Structure 1
Amino acid sequence: MTLSRRRFLESAAAGAGAGLLGTAAGAQSAEGRDYYELRAYHLRRGPHERAMSDYARDALVPALRRAGTGPVGVFNVAIGPDSPTLYVLITHPTMDSVATLPERLAADTEYRRAGAAVLDAPAADPPYERIESSLMVAFAGHPRLALPPQLAAGKGRLFELRRYESHSEPASATKIDVFNRWEAAIFARHSMHAVFYGQTIVGAKMPNLTYLLAFDDMRDHDARWGEFGSDPEWRAIAAKPEYADPAIVSSISNVFLRPTAYSQI
């Protein structure tokens, strides 16, 4: 990995920490928190969809685990834009893990062998259109990825990936503070299982925060959100002008994801 790439990522992480200095909770260090790399492989319909799934299952996921990452989530779009897109969630324990991953994958001979059909594809027949990637640092109040309970129970899973954009960095920091102090706990009280909460430090449409919720199915999703919206504590918090969405959230977007059979999340 080049020195400039490492310095860029370190600078981004430092900027995220600085962005949290203005919250009511005070200064927050990123030490001890996960970093989440979310990749979106934009695919073309046809045989390349299967080729990319095989690559993720047989080459990428095993190589990432050999490289020391946490559980790897691999998802297809169930409801949302840009289908087909293969989402890959990579959990890193440190910024150094993020910075050195490309060179470690390049040096992994088994990864190169198992992924050759994708990695060595000719320019005239690319396996995907482009990769979009964002890097997030876990919220201080929720520093580690949490596997959904449906996974251990052997149940089906529907994930909702939500992004909250803000008009300024202080506004985004305030929304993160709301999650750390109240909102995430209210989610948990209504069995809205959060896999991660992350502040984007490199990516599109910043400043923003992103999180991933796990549900049994869409009926479960609708019921849980209905309970949350009626929660007296949440209604009291949302009624405060300084925490109302018009003051700190400028846009909300979401996409529903289905895990692949080999997803570890």
Structure 2
Amino acid sequence: MAKMMDRRSMLTATAAAGVALASDDALAQPGRSTAPREIYELRTYRLVNGPMRERLDTYLRDAFIPAARRAGCGPVGVFTITIGAGSPGLHVLIAHPSIGDFVALPGKLAADPAYGRASAPFVGATPGDPPYAALDVKLMQAFPHFPRVEAGGGPNGRIFELRTYHSHGQKAGATKIDMFDTGGEIALFRRVGLTPVFFAQDLTGARLPSLTYMLTFADMAARERAWRTFGSDPAWKRLITTPGLTDPEITTGIDNSILAPTSYSQI
């Protein structure tokens, strides 16, 4: 049996064999590869039916998002969970310029008088009337060739899809990242209508290694058309049958949810 190629050799070989998903110009994405890579904080607020949602909306809209932007973070996306685990709840996606900015944000909020006043009803909630049922936080780092979030077309009349791909080990996870970041898969996404918002490697989480990305669509019908076109694309079919790049070799599972932006979401 031939020796297994490393992940970059596999991607190079597929391109040389005509399996590449996009032209060299499309893959190069001038100016992107040297840009600083954002850190994404994904907060998942678990709620129960009742007043929690209204109070959280008020806090995020009037206190947290304005203060986070003053602190140099953002954009901040806020999404309800339409299809998937965690409803009722909210996903809050915060773009940080660096890990240092993530670490510094709590201190900047504490020193912001306007934030202190606006956040008082939320942060002062009592144990008998808590602000949320639970809070999960995941940190991610943007891909080298997709270093910043793309805010998309705005919150009105759009849906979003949040997907996480899990792998069995570090080499497999890195190979899957390379398929997206340098192998042309993102360029193919754009071509078929799978409009990306961000692509990132997960730094924390329960089932590492993994990567997470977000897409946006005009509506569910547009989503279905785009995924159908993607699945039938000849280049994609060739790529996923390439030895070393098949799903059974590098992907152990996918988490998926459909989200709706709130009226005050910046993404």
TM-score range relative to shorter protein: 0.7 to 0.9
Contact kept in structure 2, 1:37 and 1:91, CA below 8 Å: yes
**Separation of aligned partners in 2, 1:205 and 1:162:** 14
Q: Which amino acid aligns with 1:24?
A: R
Say whether residues 1:142 and 2:146 are aligned partners: yes
In the alignment, does 2:104 pair up with 1:103?
Answer: no
Q: Is the 8 A contact 2:46 2:86 kept in 1?
A: yes
Which residue is 2:201 aligned to?
199
Give the superposition deviation at 1:156. 1.0
Structure 1 stretches lacking a partner, 5+ long:
1-21
**CA distance in 1: counterparts of 2:121 and 2:243, whole angstroms:** 54
Return the alpha-carbon distance in structure 2 between the equivalents of residues 131 and 143 of structure 1: 26
Distance, in Å, in 2 between the alignment partners of 1:23 and 1:54 is 47
**Distance in 2, Cα, partners of 1:244 & 1:63:** 44
Please give the TM-score of this superposition, normalised by the length of structure 2: 0.86
Rate the CA distance shift 1:119–1:42 in 2: closer, same or farther, 3 A. same
- Aligned to 2:203, the other structure's residue is in SS state strand
| Displacement of 1:31 | 6.8
Q: Which amino acid aligns with 2:179?
A: V
| Equivalent AA in structure 2 for residue 235 of structure 1 | K
Aligned residues: CA RMSD:
1.8
Report the CA distance between 1:130 and its aligned residue.
1.3
Query: CA offset at residue 241 of structure 1?
Result: 2.4
Task: Give the Cα–Cα distance (whole angstroms) in 1 for the partners of residues 116 and 234 of structure 2.
Answer: 54
Contact 2:35 2:147 in 1 (8 A): no
Shift of 1:41: 0.6
Q: Distance in 1 between matches of 2:265 and 2:34?
A: 27
Q: Distance in 2 between matches of 1:66 and 1:210?
A: 27
Match of 1:91 among 95, 100, 112: 95
Give the total of aligned pairs.
239
- Do the aligned partners of 1:30 and 1:137 also contact (CA within 8 Å) in 2? no
The equivalent residue for 1:47 is 51
Q: What is residue 159 of structure 2 aligned with on the other side? A: 158
Match of 2:17 in 1: none
4+ residue stretches of structure 1 with deviation over 2 A?
A: none
Counterpart position of 2:8: 24
Q: Find 1:70's aligned residue among 71, 74, 77.
A: 74
Deviations 1:182-218, CA, capped at 9 Å, x for gaps: 2111101112110000101122221100000000111
Q: 1:241 aligns with which of 240, 243, 265?
A: 243
Q: Could you tell me how far 1:262 is from its partner in structure 2? A: 0.5
Quote the Cα distance in structure 2 between the aligned partners of 1:155 and 1:187.
Answer: 22
**Conservation of the 8 A alpha-carbon contact between 2:166 and 2:253:** yes
Q: In the TM superposition, what is the alpha-carbon distance from 1:155 to its structure 2 partner?
A: 4.8
Shift of 1:30: 9.2
Q: Which runs of 5+ in 2 are unaligned?
A: 1-5, 12-32
Counterpart contact for 1:112–1:119, Cα < 8 Å: no
Please give the per-residue CA displacement for 1:125-162, whole angstroms capped at 9, x wherever unaligned.
Answer: 111011101110001121111121x32xx851100000
> Which has the larger share of helix?
1
Q: 2: CA distance between counterparts of 1:202 and 1:104?
A: 23
1:131 and 1:206 map into 2 onto residues whose CA distance is 19
Contact 2:77–2:261 (CA<8 Å) still a contact in 1? yes
Distance 2:90 2:239 in 1: 36
Distance (Å, rounded) in 1 between the aligned partners of 2:134 and 2:208: 20
Change (3 A) 1:238 1:53: same
Identity %: 46
In the alignment, the residues of structure 2 paired with residue 159 and residue 129 of structure 1 have an alpha-carbon distance, to the nearest angstrom, of 24
TM-score of the superposed pair, with normalisation by structure 1:
0.86
